Amino acid sequence: MSTILIILNDAPYGSERTYNGLRLAGALAKAGGHDLRLFLLGDSVVAAKSGQKVPSGYYNIEVMLGAVIRGGGAVAICGTCLDARGIAESEITPGARRGTMNQLAEWTGTADRVLVF
């Protein structure tokens, strides 16, 4: 089983980088056979904020993130980035966890593939 690390950096809405990274992560989670890890950095940490309400017909990043978690993907969120944006751990999507740069370093070192969006 290969380990795939996906690192997201951009805000969840605006650019489509986070959207496309989550589309790929969702497809990998659905396919199985991988140890999938997702790390949110910078403005992408907002993707893990629970209670997102988007216009009808628009994609919902929180729902997409939840699908990755339910599919067995591990999701970590940069704690420093959360603090900088005033997001408390109680506001994070269930199943996602506060992470650290040390954790990202460990995940990077043990990953077979690292993809950055």
Angle (CA) 105-63-117 rounded to 5° is 40
Rounded percentage of the chain residues whose pLDDT exceeds 90: 96
Single-letter code of the amino acid located at 4: I
Q: What is the pLDDT of residue 14?
A: 87
pTM of this structure: 0.94
Contact, 75 vs 95, CB < 8 A?
Answer: yes
pLDDT digits (tens, 9 = 90+) for 45-74: 999 999 999 999 899 999 999 999 999 999
Domains of the chain with CATH codes? 2-116 (3.40.1260.10)
Q: How far apart are CA 114 and CA 106, in angstroms?
A: 12
Average pLDDT, the chain: 96
pLDDT digits (tens, 9 = 90+) for 90-111: 999 999 999 999 999 999 999 9
Please classify residue 115 by burial: count the beta carbons closer than 10 Å to its beta carbon, then call 0-12 exposed, 13-18 middle and 19+ buried: middle
Mean pLDDT computed over 22-38: 96
Report the C-alpha gap between 50 and 71 in whole angstroms: 18
